[in-house]
Structure 1
Amino acid sequence: MSESERWQELFGPAGDGPAMRLASASGDPGAGAGGTDNLKYSKGPWTSASGTAGDLRTRAETSRSVLGRGHGGVDAGAGGLSSVAALRGVLTSWEERLRTVRDECEQLKGNLLTVAKEMGESETAVKSSLKGVHVPGTADEKR
Structure 2
Amino acid sequence: MGTAAHPESWQRLLDQAGPPPAPPLHLASTSTSPSTSPSPSTSTGGGDLHHTPKPWNDAAGAAHSLRTDTDTARSGLITAHSGIDGIDTGAAGLLSVAALKTVLTSWEERLAAVRDECGSLEPKLREVARTMGGTDHAVRSSIAGYADPVPADEKGR
- Asked whether the two chains share a fold, i.e. TM above 0.5, the reply is yes
Equivalent position of 1:79 in the other structure: 92
User: Could you tell me the TM-score, scaled by structure 2's length?
Assistant: 0.64
SS in 1 for 2:146: coil
Classify the secondary structure of the residue corresponding to 1:61.
Answer: helix
Deviation at 1:108, TM superposition (A): 1.0
The structure with the greater share of residues assigned to helix is 1
Paired letter, 1:63: A
- Structural mapping, 1:1-143, within 5 Å: 14-15=20-21, 17-19=22-24, 28-29=33-34, 37-75=47-85, 76-77=88-89, 78-134=91-147
Unmatched runs of 5 consecutive residues or more in structure 2: 1-19, 38-45, 149-157
1:3-51 Cα deviation digits (max 9, x unpaired): xxxxxxxxxxx43x21378xxxx97037xxxxx6331111110111011
4+ runs deviating over 4 angstroms: none
Structure 1, gaps ≥5 residues long: 1-13, 31-35, 136-143
Give TM-score, length-normalised by structure 1: 0.70
Shift, 1:104, TM fit: 0.6
Q: For the aligned residues, what is the CA RMSD?
A: 2.4
Counterpart of 1:19, as a letter, is P
Could you say which structure has the larger radius of gyration?
2
In the alignment of these two chains, the number of paired residues is 113
